[in-house]
Amino acid sequence: MTSDLYQKIFHFFLLSIIIATCYSGTLNNSWHFDDYINIVDDKNIRIDSLSWEHIKKPIYSKDGDIRGRPLAVLSFAGNYLFSGLDTTGYHVVNILIHIICSFFVYLVFIYTLNLYRQQYKSSITEDLINDIALFGAVLWAIHPIQTQAVTYIVQRMASMAAMFYMISLYFYLKFRLHKEAKFKVLLIVLSVLSWGAGILSKENAALLPLSIIAYEIVIFRTSLKDNLRFKLFFFGSLISLFVFSLIFMSGDIISYLDKTYSARPYTMWERLITQPIILTRYIFLLLVPVADFLTLDTNIFASKGLFSPPITIFANLFIFILIILSIYFSRKYPLICFAIIFYFINHLVESTIIGLELYFEHRNYLPSVFIYLVVSYFFLSICYHYKKQGRMFMYSLFVSLIFFIVVSEGNATYLRNDVWKDDITLYSDNLDKAPLNIRVYNNLAAEYMKLGQHEKALEYLKQAEKIYKKYPDSFQKNSVADIYCNAGIIYLHAKGEIEKASQLLLKSAELFSANFMVHYHLAIACFKLGDLPNAETAIINAARLNGGEAPIYNLLGRILYAEGKYDLAVKAFDKGLELEKERVLYLNCVASYLALGELKKARSVLFVMDAKDDDLLYWLYRLVVATEPEKDDLISTIVNLLSTGHISFEKLVAELSDNNNIQIIFPDISSFQNDLYQPFPL
């Protein structure tokens, strides 16, 4: 084993230990935010084996098309196979991805510094190169801004894409520097395959060719004018990116972009002029690694013009000048200029024209990589300069400063990960740092609703409404609609104020009609008010928006049954049973068949149902459809259940007679009610 290989292995273990230490407190952290949509509630990732039938389930949609980011989704399915929905396994995989990515960042740094030394006649030594690469990789890996990409489980999509991106770049650099043709072919194939894996993890990995072009020009000093191969690669990359964009946007770029802005409170122009403010904030956060400045969401509103607010023009000028200077001085200061160019290239997808959310810190995971190479180069070059000159005090001072930076960064990351412990700690931290963001109030309200603390939830919703009324044009309609949706749910289910709940839910639907939950709860409110036609309309709207949820079809069937549309009710319950074999759907289907007078079909549904021995409603329905020889045994079973369960027969009869339960249809027991009556002994 060569000393160089030994050193790389040692550095890999050192990186692993440092990262594992900084992220050791995350293993029991809960799910957050989009984790629920993409993992917890995604039934497609729930595989039971590694057979092709199970593996293709998370990859393909019901229509047979490949889902977006299939490789990342498949990794979630793998986690589910081994650990279900226990978050520990997911966090372990995220940390491992981060460690692997960090190691390839380190290797790319070594190649870059060696090329810099050769191309620009730098005097840095081999030992200094390895130290700079290690320190730069550590700075990048343990910066607290990376917690969103590592600790936030669903952002594995971003870290996986970055990992394959850096692996691809590593193989490309080996390809460029290798002499033997057969190995060059293997290396470029590995580079392309890794690039493809990155794109299948998250689409922004498609920007790699632009980064390679910048690398060739700035680091390799390749001339576009004089090098035919590079010229072909340059134009081929641009064409491939255009083709990829067309495929990604389903062949219609304009329609795709319009769709991304449909729910946003800002136009494409407003987003474009706001992003320099956000990019400037990102740069500040990258250079000042203090966890107190990090937040899930911000108070930044979209600018309405270059001078509204005035900071917009200054931020735009700053970013514009930074880009121009980095291009102009790229030959004089190649490392720092390439780091800036790389940073902006890899923000092109999420920080330009596509109508995404304005701000998310995980977007810096990949773009920030080379910034830390520059920072590391600066500190260690000064350090070695003082050591070479024998100025040991200054050398010791900078060594202490480097040690302080690593420890403080690691500590900040550890503390930031503690904030991600659960939703309440995360959103409470976010509220302290972004008190004008109504989505934070909504998120906190939703968490307290889960805990049954409805008054506290309402307080947050009232505060959110006040902020919205003060800044009516600054928030997305769906975020505003969530205020009234959550309040409506509280008044409907916790307070029993059905009229008020109905008004709030209607207001939510008027603001943003694409939330199926609003229509679902509005259907419940209308049902309870006896307004069955509007209840039917609301639940049909919910089914159109989300046709994959069995409870929607159960409620639809329940409303249709109440309207006397028994044949349609059967179809609704059958559709629900296709999705989930739920007890309530079976029993409601039985009730509908009985209402249609189809006794045999009612019996057949009951007999395929997997019922528990103590399921009183099941046995009551069995008695309703029973033949004469079966009745005595069934009556005895039911009477025994009433007795052992200490169930008041009078209360049971009253509940069954009312038959106004929103979830389940009760059987009519009037014909054998007297046979079941057994008064409790005195």
pLDDT value at residue 308:
93
Q: Which residues contact 438 (CB under 8 A, 6 or more apart)?
A: 464, 467, 468, 475, 479, 480, 483
Are the C-beta atoms of 323 and 308 separated by less than 8 Å? no
- Section 474-480 average pLDDT: 90
- Section 294-307 average pLDDT: 94
What one-letter code names the amino acid at 106?
Answer: Y
- Section 327-347 average pLDDT: 97
Tokens of 60: 């393909």
pLDDT value at residue 681:
42
- Section 561-566 average pLDDT: 95
Per residue in 404-415, pLDDT (tens digit) is 999 999 999 999
Question: Sorting pLDDT into bands at 50, 70 and 90, what band is 1?
Answer: low
- Section 214-227 average pLDDT: 90
- Section 465-474 average pLDDT: 92
pLDDT value at residue 5:
85
Which residue is listed with tokens 């929103």?
662
Task: Residue 460: name the closest of 482, 478, 493, 476 by CA.
Answer: 482
Tokens of 136: 């730069």
Q: Which residues contact 323 (CB under 8 A, 6 or more apart)?
A: 340, 341, 344
Per residue in 523-547, pLDDT (tens digit) is 999 999 999 999 999 999 999 998 8
- Section 655-674 average pLDDT: 85
Min mean pLDDT across 133-142, 327-336, 361-370, 625-634 is at 625-634
Tokens of 46: 């729930």
Residue, of 243 and 460, whose pLDDT is higher = 460
CA distance 492 to 508: 14
Give CA angle at 171 (370, 103), nearest 5°: 50
Helix ranges, 420-453 (H): 423-433, 438-450
Per residue in 68-120, pLDDT (tens digit) is 899 999 999 999 999 999 999 999 999 999 999 999 999 999 999 999 999 88
pLDDT value at residue 158:
97
Query: SS3 string of 364-418?
Result: HCCCCHHHHHHHHHHHHHHHHHHHHCCCHHHHHHHHHHHHHHHHHHHHHHHHHHH
Which residue is listed with tokens 């180069």?
377
pLDDT of 630 > 60? The answer is yes
Kindly report the number of other CB atoms within 10 A of residue 249's CB atom: 16
Per residue in 34-57, pLDDT (tens digit) is 999 999 999 889 999 888 888 888
- Section 369-384 average pLDDT: 96
pLDDT of 682 > 70? The answer is no
Task: Residue 151: name the closest of 296, 280, 283, 343 by CA.
Answer: 296
pTM: 0.90
- Section 458-462 average pLDDT: 97
Are the C-beta atoms of 362 and 149 separated by less than 8 Å? yes
Tokens of 679: 């008064």
pLDDT value at residue 678:
58
CA distance 327 to 380: 25
Length of the chain: 682
pLDDT value at residue 676:
78
CA distance 520 to 540: 9
Per residue in 228-240, pLDDT (tens digit) is 888 888 898 889 8
CA distance 534 to 331: 69
CA distance 372 to 338: 12
pLDDT value at residue 63:
64
CA distance 334 to 338: 6
Mean pLDDT, the chain, rounded, equals 92
C-alpha distances in angstroms, 18 versus 23, 63, 431? Answer: 9, 45, 30
pLDDT of 680 > 50? The answer is no
Evaluated on CA atoms 24, 30, 36, 41, the torsion sign reads positive
The second-level CATH assignment, the architecture, of 435-610 is Alpha Horseshoe (1.25)
615: helix, coil or strand? coil
Per residue in 241-277, pLDDT (tens digit) is 888 888 888 778 888 899 899 888 899 999 999 999 9
pLDDT cut 70: percent of the chain above it: 99
Min mean pLDDT across 302-311, 328-337, 659-668 is at 659-668
CATH 1.25.40.10 occupies which residues in the chain? 435-610
Question: Sorting pLDDT into bands at 50, 70 and 90, what band is 62?
Answer: low
Tokens of 198: 């990155």
